Amino acid sequence: MRRPSTLVALLFSSCLITSACSGSGAGRHPSGPTRYADNGTFTMSQLDDTDGLDPYRTGTGLYLVGLAYDSLLNIRQDGTFVSGVAEKWSADAHSATFTLRAGVTCADGTPLTAGQVAADMNFVGDKANGSALYGRFTPPLPFRAAGDDKTGTITVNMVGKPFGFLLHTLGLLPIVCSKGLRDPKVLKHATDGTGPYVLSKALPGQSYTFTVRKNYTWGPAGATTSRPGAPRTIVVRVITNETTAANLLLAGDLNMAQVNGQDRLRLQAKGLKAIEAPQAGAWLFFNHRGARPNADERVRRALVEALDRAQVVKVSTAQTGRAATGLTALEPRACRGDTIAGNLPEHDVAGAEALLDQTGWTKGPDGVRVKDGKPLRIQLYYIPSFLPDGQAAAELVAQQWHSVGIDVKVTAGTLTGLVQVQKNGNFDVLLQPFNSNLPSRFVTLLSGPTPPQGTNFSGIGNQTYDNLVTKASSMTAPASCTYWSQAEKALFQAVNVAPISERIGHYFLNRAEATINGTTTLPAPTSIRVLE
């Protein structure tokens, strides 16, 4: 069975069906009273295409999920939960209960049942099924869900070990209706959810068109699709270049686009407003597998010490971001606090050179370090569409590593290439953002088996981290945050991974209104309003 890329799913987003706004905006429109369009079309762009539309079996289609698939709950910016298709809920670290709203239907008109929701949970939660959402929208531990169709109640019980984020995971799981779960082929060219829109046309590599469900009344906190200005049609266009997206936005051919690079300055100059949402910037993920240089902690430590991280922060965020403070960057963060300060090595070029000398990597006549007759070569891999300023950041990192005698090869990859890199481990350092608001969502990437048996693609083995995760998982927030923070610190102290920057995502609007959560790459569907 093909295992979807959990890594790629994290790169796109973390929690894709939340409703709380981190900001709201109205794009450029005529002065005077706001006039909304009837049955309008809302067109937005995405920087990369998807490898599929099945929420459970694809690693890259998740940015489309929020339009067609609901969750039991939605989460606000302050971290509180509001209703989705569930009207009541309760949870602790051992169990959770959800009660469905009456009258919720799938896109084909069939009622959503508690048994169907439980079947979804059990499918994604079965590690053998290889779902990209395992460990992110489910506990990374065994559990069992059961549904009572008469009462509309779903009951979840942990099996063996407890888990303290049941509402943050299973409560936000995209719900696939029975046909789609039973026959995945249905979801290759269609959607089968309870969400406010349904897929009506798919042109892979070009665009995806969604049509509104007029009778939809069970959005976040009871939101509907009948409010003034609600679009009849939503078109998601694949536009891989931010400059092109900015041009189309200014021309009125797009209503919304995420533009984070220098093009945002001219959009601001033209008076277009933007919703701002925090997100991860540049991270360094080191490959610990096999005989790679990074398997030695001293080499990883030297790589970080050789970097002027303050410079990398500026370059990787176009001087609009800040230094990373931990694994989570998206809002609302379940746990807060700076776990990086005092734990990752500080900038020390002399110290980096001394560490490399200790490991036997000594400088040759050409200035490149050599060990056992082999040069110290590092492949630095990044994907431009995921990090707008990635090329400049990668070149700066390469330059600073070269100054201590490392031969660096910078590779600009593609989405397809990243999937292969994750599978075969053919990289030394990955320079990429990793997005989540929940510390537990990184567990399957930072521990456990490597591909194809697991998703620990860089082969990290940190027993202190694993032990602290076990302790943290047995508690609910905020009490658990003490141990989640200690777990992160253990990773940074061993230089297993090095988050460097956090950036601000800018979502520009033209003749439209919307709200967006920091943990999503889409506006909340029921918040979208098209202006005349």
- Evaluate whether 321 touches 313 at the Cβ level (below 8 Å): yes
- Please tell me the number of Cα atoms within 13 Å of 132 on its side-chain side: 27
pLDDT at 1: 36
Higher pLDDT, 446 or 4: 446
Instruction: For residues 121 and 13, give the distance between their C-alpha atoms in angstroms, rounded to a whole number.
Output: 20
Query: What average pLDDT does range 254-279 have in this prediction?
Result: 92
pLDDT at 472: 95
- Evaluate whether 257 touches 44 at the Cβ level (below 8 Å): yes
Instruction: For residues 137 and 447, give the distance between their C-alpha atoms in angstroms, rounded to a whole number.
Output: 17
Pick the range with the lowest mean pLDDT from 147-151, 231-235, 267-271, 454-458: 454-458
Chain-wide mean pLDDT for the chain?
Answer: 90
Cα 242–247–251 angle (5° rounding)? 145
- Evaluate whether 125 touches 166 at the Cβ level (below 8 Å): no
pLDDT at 519: 53
Q: Which two tokens stand for residue 247?
A: 């041009």
Query: What average pLDDT does range 418-431 have in this prediction?
Result: 86
Percent over 70 (pLDDT), the chain: 92
302 pLDDT exceeds 60?
Answer: yes
Q: Calculate the CA 423 to chain-centre distance.
A: 19
Three-state secondary-structure class, residue 112: coil
pLDDT at 152: 98
Higher pLDDT, 34 or 373: 373
205, with CB counted inside 10 A (0-12, 13-18, 19+), is exposed
What spatial distance separates the first Cα and last Cα of the chain, rounded to whole Å? Answer: 48
Three-state secondary-structure class, residue 363: strand
19 pLDDT exceeds 70?
Answer: no
Question: Could you tell me the fold of the domain covering 6-277+505-530?
Answer: D-Maltodextrin-Binding Protein; domain 2 (3.40.190)
Three-state secondary-structure class, residue 527: helix
pLDDT at 426: 87
pLDDT at 11: 46
Instruction: Give tens-digit pLDDT for 64-84.
Output: 788 999 999 999 888 899 999
Q: Look up residue 508 and give its DSSP letter.
A: E
pLDDT at 4: 41
464 pLDDT exceeds 60?
Answer: yes
> Could you tell me the CA-to-CA distances from 428 to 20, 269, 289, 402 in Å, in that order?
38, 41, 9, 15
Give Dmax (Cα) for the chain: 78
Beta-bridge mates of residue 382: 412
9 pLDDT exceeds 80?
Answer: no
Beta-bridge mates of residue 512: 530
Three-state secondary-structure class, residue 44: strand
- Evaluate whether 18 touches 172 at the Cβ level (below 8 Å): yes
Tabulate helix, strand, coil % of the chain (nearest 5): 30, 25, 45
Pick the range with the lowest mean pLDDT from 19-23, 36-40, 452-456, 517-521: 19-23
Q: How many residues does the chain have?
A: 532
- Evaluate whether 87 touches 219 at the Cβ level (below 8 Å): no
Helix H segments across 211-369?
242-251, 263-269, 297-305, 309-316, 349-358
Instruction: Give tens-digit pLDDT for 126-136.
Output: 989 989 889 88
475 pLDDT exceeds 90?
Answer: yes
pLDDT at 136: 86
62 pLDDT exceeds 90?
Answer: no
Residue 478, preceding peptide bond in cis (omega within 30° of 0): yes
Percent over 90 (pLDDT), the chain: 73
All structural domains of the chain with their residue ranges: 6-277+505-530, 282-499
Instruction: Give tens-digit pLDDT for 201-227.
Output: 999 899 999 999 999 999 999 999 999
Cα 404–410–416 angle (5° rounding)? 150
Ranges assigned E (strand) in 50-151:
73-75, 81-83, 86-91, 95-100, 143-148
pLDDT at 425: 86
Q: State which amino acid sits at residue 120.
A: D
Instruction: For residues 279 and 130, give the distance between their C-alpha atoms in angstroms, rounded to a whole number.
Output: 27
Instruction: Give tens-digit pLDDT for 483-522.
Output: 999 999 999 999 999 999 999 889 999 999 998 765 555 7
Instruction: For residues 285 and 180, give the distance between their C-alpha atoms in angstroms, rounded to a whole number.
Output: 35
- Evaluate whether 281 touches 502 at the Cβ level (below 8 Å): yes
pLDDT at 28: 53
Max mean pLDDT range (65-74, 317-326, 402-411):
402-411
Q: Are strands 374-375 and 369-371 parallel, antiparallel or unpaired?
A: antiparallel
290 pLDDT exceeds 80?
Answer: yes
pLDDT at 315: 95
- pLDDT category at 173 given cuts 50, 70, 90 is very high
- pLDDT category at 31 given cuts 50, 70, 90 is low
- Evaluate whether 100 touches 86 at the Cβ level (below 8 Å): yes
* CATH node for 282-499: 3.10.105.10
Instruction: For residues 26 and 10, give the distance between their C-alpha atoms in angstroms, rounded to a whole number.
Output: 29
Instruction: Give tens-digit pLDDT for 328-380.
Output: 998 889 999 999 999 999 999 999 999 999 999 999 999 999 999 999 999 99
Instruction: For residues 443 and 23, give the distance between their C-alpha atoms in angstroms, rounded to a whole number.
Output: 29
